[in-house]
Amino acid sequence: MGTRHASHSVPFPHGAESHAHMDRMLESSALALSKKGNLERHYNTNHQKFDESYPPKSSLRAKKVAELAKELRAQQQLFTRPVDHNKAATEASFRVSHLLAQHKKPFTDGELLKQAMTVTADTLFAGFKNKDEIAAAVSRVPLGPPTVTRRFEELSSDVDRQVLEDLKRCEYFSLQFDESVDIVDTAQLAIFVRMSFKDSTIKEDFLTSAP
């Protein structure tokens, strides 16, 4: 009887896939060479005397490179500072809106708080050199009624998301129902959830309500 041999084949890219793979490699190499060529052309055209003025491995060259790097960082900060300011203003808007929600204040109180912050900053920082910068930072905080309304909605959605995530992660949970009647004799049902996790921690949260 003849002996049977099992054969295993390892798939390699072939046909159109192989050509596409090779094309991508060639394109990447060509792009790298193109960038290198552009940099060399720019250097040779605009900085022909750089090596003469600042010899390689000299202290003069090291000092010049440090100055150029400092200038580059300063230019980059011109683009990053507005982004940082916008992020800070948005965060402040959320935190103030959360404070209003905690104390059950109307949306329109956001503008009142902003006016209070403006007056406070104008008084406390009157002698500061960066007084105008502080005032500008306060003025950038969006606290109009439509904005505060959106913040309330986004904060509420985030709380709902966190409760649902906790329900997915917990080992056990129990529900508590609390029924009450409002001033017009309409029954209100509040549902709370108590969750137990793997690390033996217990957490309670408001789940939902129904009239």
pLDDT of res. 63: 81
pLDDT of res. 48: 65
- pTM of whole model > 0.75? no
pLDDT of res. 133: 87
Computed over its alpha carbons, how large is the radius of gyration of the chain? Answer: 32
What does the pLDDT look like over 155-188, one tens digit per residue?
999 999 999 999 999 999 999 999 988 888 888 8
Q: Quick count: other Cβ atoms within 10 Å of Cβ 104? A: 6
pLDDT of res. 36: 62
Distance (Å, whole) CA 28 – CA 22: 10
For 2: left if phi > 0, alpha if psi spans -120 to 50, otherwise beta; the answer is: beta
Distance between first and last Cα of the chain: 83
pLDDT of res. 46: 62
> What ranges do the domains of the chain cover?
53-169, 171-211
pLDDT along the chain (211 residues), means of 10: 43 49 55 61 66 77 78 63 78 94 92 94 90 90 94 93 93 92 87 93 90 73
pLDDT of res. 9: 41
